[in-house]
Amino acid sequence: MRFLIPILISATVLVPQGIADNVQSILEIPNTNAGAAHRIAIVGAGAAGSSAAYHLSQFARDAGLEIPLNITIFESEARVGGRTTTVNALNDPRYPVELGGSIFVEINRILFNATRDFNLPTNARIYESTGSDYDLGIWDGDSFIFTTANSDDDGSLKDRWSGWWDIAKLLWKYGFSPLRLRSLQRATIGRFLNMYDEFFPFLDLTQAAEEADLLSVTGTTGEKMLAAAGISEQFSREIIQASTRVNYAQNLPDFHGLETLVCMSTDGAMSIEGGNWQIFDQMIKHSQAKLRLNSTVTAVNTTTGSPTLTITNSEGATVSESFDTIILAHPYNSSMMTLTPPPAHTPHKDVAYVSLHVTLFTSPFRPSPVYFNLNPPVDSLVPDSILTTVPEALDPHFLGRGVEGVGPTGFWSLSTLHILNPSTDGYIPGVVSSGSIPVENLDMSGKQYLYKIFSPAPLTAEELVELFGWQDDQSLPADLKSNSRTQSHGGTSISALPDTLLTWSHEKVWNSYPYLPPRTEFDCFDVYNCSSTRSVEAEALARKLWYTSAIEPFICTMETSALSGRNIARLIVDGLA
């Protein structure tokens, strides 16, 4: 989630003959309420749902649509943003930190243009140097197999992650593999950009990907794709696989080629000051849609002339409401929703999601160099950010997924985000109570390091004790003093650690993104109008229920979710025009 950075660009509206027939089939949406507003329900207020609402209003205005749109967004949570959210470190609003989708890049046109259009301040200085000798280290569970040296830069992502493409540093170890990867990436992303330039809007993702010659890279593993391009196994395992693990918690042998290349597209990364969720909040506000938080949609019935939703609010009351069009803007298999009638192909039936555990915490201590087998055991040798891979002797083909897939490192990544100084850091102007909780209530003094760890299971107190070398600390309960590395992920909750060691923590488990094995067929945006299941009966239900998450097994990022919402919005407006 930290490095979910695709290279995307918004597209012009050109429809090549190869998909014109499919698009034409949706361009005549019957309006059963001629002269009345067309009622659209969007289920989910994340990137896809908010983008759909925003672009529905934009496209309708640009097209001079005579039929007014009446848009309602239903969100089961009490907030906007979906898998993009922030929390306040130390429970202090001076220190917002991303818990979900963390960064995007300038070429992500939907997100980047939104920062301009909504006047949202961006921030490239996300990671703060601790004074370590190294910005980045890649650890295989035994040693650091690659590091990039710290420099006197401004702390920007551009400077910190330039090590990926510091060719002078990489060529000596990996030969021409970095250059071959760059060439492969440019050629593939070029085809990807042609797809969006030429085929937007697209009804059939599978056919559009085939037209763009992208099924050859989604249909093979990253491992095989890289080998076919002459990229060495060592470079793939040490550098590229570290990126697939931190971005998607997956190893190369079971990860498709297109997303592998997306993982390495990190140029020009940024975030929104105060949280990326603000992009989606502003999209909803500018759409003038009605937003109903704490409203869980439990059923969709499309058998009647006007599809109905069954909605349960936070107090348990249930109501039914009718709409002309419904957009399901979150993964179907993570909901408790029922669809009537059942579609011929259940959305996301064969798509499994990663269970990603995110742990944010603060401590006055740095990780122990002994844990990483550093010699000499000097704190400054521990990199500020640690990505992981598997050792050369371990074959990732036999690791499986999740806890088994992470291998001997035990976690996917460990990042030092910021250094906090609660007693001296400035307050936030305009925030009630001067923008912070009283320092005396924090029971701390001096600086605090803010960390983020991605892991396949909850972190335990025993694991943090070993990671930070706290075994001999006098404040540590006797039952937490252990000298053996815990690999089972079973043990004591980190909340049992004394606040002299762990001053604040926040844990979250996400169904963050799908597992992305090779595939050449993708779900339909129009749930009842798939080319493989099209029939007379299905045609009667077409254009009533749309599904944004069809794009996630193809590419799963904040930007592509927003693009899916934008694509569906255009299909709907074109059908009403």
| CATH number, residue 336 | 3.50.50.60
Binning pLDDT at 50, 70 and 90, where does residue 555 land?
very high
Higher pLDDT, 435 or 143: 143
Clarify whether residues 138 and 125 are in a common domain.
yes
Clarify whether residues 425 and 374 are in a common domain.
yes
Supply the range of the domain harboring residue 139. Answer: 85-162+350-512
Domain boundary among 461, 479, 512: 512
Residue type, 205: L
Clarify whether residues 401 and 423 are in a common domain.
yes
Clarify whether residues 498 and 381 are in a common domain.
yes
What percentage of the chain has pLDDT greater than the value 90? 64
- Is 133 within 8 Å of 150 (Cβ atoms)? yes
145, part of any domain:
yes
Clarify whether residues 536 and 414 are in a common domain.
no
Strand partners, 136: 148, 385
Structure confidence by residue, pLDDT tens digits, 410-440: 999 999 999 999 888 876 544 434 344 444 4
Mean predicted confidence (pLDDT) in 459-467: 94
What percentage of the chain has pLDDT greater than the value 70? 84
Q: Which pLDDT score is estimated for 4?
A: 33
Strand partners, 340: 301
Distance CA 503, CA 491 (A): 20
Least confident window among 278-282, 285-289, 299-303, 433-437? 433-437
Distance CA 103, CA 5 (A): 7
Indicate the burial class of 300 (C-beta count within 10 angstroms; 0-12, 13-18, 19 or more). Answer: buried
First to last CA, the chain: 38
**Mean pLDDT computed over every residue of the chain:** 85
Domain count for the chain = 3
Clarify whether residues 494 and 508 are in a common domain.
yes
Binning pLDDT at 50, 70 and 90, where does residue 27 land?
very low
Structure confidence by residue, pLDDT tens digits, 196-254: 778 899 999 999 999 999 999 999 999 999 999 999 999 999 999 999 999 999 999 99
DSSP string spanning 326-361? EEE-S-GGGS--EEESPPSS-TTTT--EEEEEEEEE
213, part of any domain:
no
Domain boundary among 212, 230, 263: 263
Q: Which pLDDT score is estimated for 76?
A: 95
Clarify whether residues 113 and 238 are in a common domain.
no
Q: Which pLDDT score is estimated for 267?
A: 74
11, part of any domain:
no
Task: Choose from 129-138, 313-322, 357-366 the range with maximum mean pLDDT.
Answer: 357-366
Clarify whether residues 73 and 129 are in a common domain.
no
Backbone angles phi, psi at 154, to 5 degrees: -90, 10
Question: Which residue has 């009966």 as its token pair?
Answer: 537
DSSP code for 526:
B
Clarify whether residues 123 and 228 are in a common domain.
no
Binning pLDDT at 50, 70 and 90, where does residue 26 land?
very low
Clarify whether residues 113 and 178 are in a common domain.
no
Domain boundary among 230, 263, 296: 263
- Residue 103: pLDDT over 70: yes
Nearest to 74 by CA among 343, 430, 323, 428: 323
Residues 6+ apart with CB under 8 A from 257: 188, 216, 217, 218, 219, 220, 221, 222, 224, 225, 226, 518
Nearest to 24 by CA among 544, 533, 542, 554: 542
Q: Is 570 helix (H, G, I), strand (E, B) or coil?
A: helix
Clarify whether residues 449 and 385 are in a common domain.
yes
Q: Which pLDDT score is estimated for 363?
A: 96
Backbone angles phi, psi at 378, to 5 degrees: -110, 135
DSSP code for 221:
B
Q: Is 35 helix (H, G, I), strand (E, B) or coil?
A: coil
Residues 6+ apart with CB under 8 A from 307: 300, 301, 322, 323, 324, 325, 326, 544, 545
8, part of any domain:
no
Distance CA 240, CA 236 (A): 5
Any idea of the CA torsion for 116, 121, 122, 126, to the nearest 10 degrees? -170
Strand order in the sheet with 38-43: 290-292, 69-74, 38-43, 325-328, 545-547
Nearest to 245 by CA among 370, 122, 414: 414
Q: Exposure pattern of 197-212 as b/e (b: 16+ CB <10 Å)?
A: ebbbbbbbbbbbbbbb
207, part of any domain:
no
- Residue 345: pLDDT over 70: yes
Distance CA 539, CA 249 (A): 39
Structure confidence by residue, pLDDT tens digits, 295-329: 999 999 998 778 999 999 888 899 999 999 999 99
Within a 10 A sphere around the Cβ of 120, how many other Cβ atoms?
Answer: 18
Within a 10 A sphere around the Cβ of 543, how many other Cβ atoms?
Answer: 22
212, part of any domain:
no
Strand partners, 88: 96
- Residue 54: pLDDT over 70: yes
214, part of any domain:
no
Distance CA 528, CA 545 (A): 7
Binning pLDDT at 50, 70 and 90, where does residue 25 land?
very low
Mean predicted confidence (pLDDT) in 158-172: 57
| Structure tokens belonging to residue 217 | 């890279």
- Residue 87: pLDDT over 80: yes
Distance CA 40, CA 74 (A): 11
Clarify whether residues 174 and 234 are in a common domain.
yes
DSSP H or E segment with residue 21: helix 17-24
Q: Which pLDDT score is estimated for 428?
A: 54
Residue type, 433: S
Please tell me the pTM assigned to this model: 0.88
204, part of any domain:
no
Q: Which pLDDT score is estimated for 160?
A: 44
Q: Is 276 helix (H, G, I), strand (E, B) or coil?
A: coil
